[in-house]
Amino acid sequence: MTTQEWKFTAKDIAEKPDLFLAGHRACAGCGPATVLRLIMKATRGPTIVTEATGCMEVVSSIYPYTSWAVPWLHTAFETAASNASGIEAALKIMKKKGRISQEHVDVIAFAGDGGTFDIGFQALSGAVERGHDFLFVLYDNEAYMNTGIQRSGGTPHGAATTTSPAGTVIPGKLEYKKPIADIMVAHGMPYVATATPYYWKDLMTKVRKGLEVEGPAFLHVFAPCPRGWRSNPAKSIEYAKLAVESCVFPVWESVDGHCQLSTPSKLVALAPQKKKPVADYLQGQGRFRHMFKPKGKSVLDEVQRITDARWDCLLRKCGETSKTA
């Protein structure tokens, strides 16, 4: 079934059986768990899933239980992409030799920000360079949550984590979030997209596109973590909306290197007056609490500045006129 035929209506989705099953041990309000469930609802046929060590791996596979209704492999932290490489290579040759029954099997690799920006990056870059046909999904909760909220290359500037605490001298993480999706576009891969679970239809459509493309696809999904963000579990999906509206996490896709904004971010580009200040998104998250104290003003300003600069850069890449000055 092609993307055009697939409607992703609420009814269709509700009727499709879950492949990421209930009963896993994720926290209340867990963004990644919602993301995984939506993504697995968007699969198109026989699928093998592989996953890096991390929150979702741990909560879904505690032996002798499993939340996976598809074949699933975990090996280590840095290996989501190299697992996918081996699985895809095996499927290809075994099909040629008539040793598997399926006409085609999709391969999806899930990794968190640690397993993607940091320790898993080399394997990811190598797998994409080799052109394996798989979808890599980064569920980005912006720190090493499973080990207790340590900063990663995906942690944004200013965020307090247990290894970048907001102290009296250093106000949270000093470094900036690695523009991972841009880096993946620079690999010359056929499909790269960003998404959040608030815009679930956009997310699911992108999953389907990523699976349909020949060769590697990369999907960067924003995944709020109430435990690590010190935020209200009831607000996770709201943060997934505010992040887009404030342009902290714009949604876009790059098809064969041609970049375009997806509708939610396109609407912000068309009506820049509606672009929300980053403070609207940051407020209420404990990890940014220090920014709202008098001494934190400069950090808050810097977050606004870098958000605007990156948004401008994205607008130029997408051929949109910058209206944020």
Partner 1 sequence: MQTTIKQKMTALAGDQAVAYAVKQSDVDVVAAYPITPQTIIVEKFSEYVANGEVETEFVCVESEHSAMTASLAASATGARAFTATASAGLALMHEMLFVTSGCRAPVVMAVANRALSAPLNIHGDHSDSMAQRDSGWIQMYAENAQEAYDSIIQAFRIAENLDVLLPALVGLDGFTLSHTLENVETLPDETVKEFVGVRKFPNVLTHNGKTAPFRLDPANPMTMGPIALQNYYFEFKRQQEEAMKHAVNVIQQVNSEYAKISGRSYGNGLVEEYRLEDAEVAAVCLGSTAGTMKTVVDDLRQQGVKAGLLRLRTFRPLPVEAIRSALADVKAVAVMDKCMSFGGNGGPVFHEFRHLLYEAANHPYVVNYIYGLGGRDTSPAELRSIYETLQGILQAGRIETPIHYLGLRG
Residues that bind partner 1 (CB under 8 A): 46-48, 50, 57-58, 61-64, 66, 68-76, 78-79, 81-87, 89-94, 96-97, 99-102, 105, 122-123, 125-127, 129-130
Nearest-angstrom CA–CA distance, 302 and 249: 16
Element holding 280 (H helix, E strand): helix 278-282
**Residues near 115 by Cβ (< 8 Å), separated by ≥ 6?**
52, 53, 54, 77, 78, 80
43 vs 262, beta carbon nearer partner 1? 43
Element holding 107 (H helix, E strand): strand 106-112
Q: Are strands 47-51 and 106-112 parallel, antiparallel or unpaired?
A: parallel
23 vs 294, beta carbon nearer partner 1? 23
Q: Least distance to partner 1 from the beta carbon of 42, Å?
A: 16
71 vs 167, beta carbon nearer partner 1? 71
126 vs 167, beta carbon nearer partner 1? 126
121 vs 252, beta carbon nearer partner 1? 121
Q: Least distance to partner 1 from the beta carbon of 85, Å?
A: 5
Q: Least distance to partner 1 from the beta carbon of 100, Å?
A: 7
What are the phi and psi torsion angles at 175 (to 5°)? Answer: -80, 170
Tokens coding 194: 């960003």
Q: Least distance to partner 1 from the beta carbon of 87, Å?
A: 5
131 vs 286, beta carbon nearer partner 1? 131
> In 3D, which of 190, 234, 216, 256 has the Cα closest to residue 31?
234
Nearest-angstrom CA–CA distance, 128 and 180: 13
Other beta carbons within 10 Å of 175: 11
Q: Least distance to partner 1 from the beta carbon of 209, Å?
A: 21
Q: Are strands 258-261 and 217-222 parallel, antiparallel or unpaired?
A: unpaired
Tokens coding 55: 């929150």
**Residues near 130 by Cβ (< 8 Å), separated by ≥ 6?**
85
Largest CA-CA distance found in the chain, in angstroms, rounded: 68
Q: Least distance to partner 1 from the beta carbon of 48, Å?
A: 5
74 vs 177, beta carbon nearer partner 1? 74
Q: Least distance to partner 1 from the beta carbon of 52, Å?
A: 11
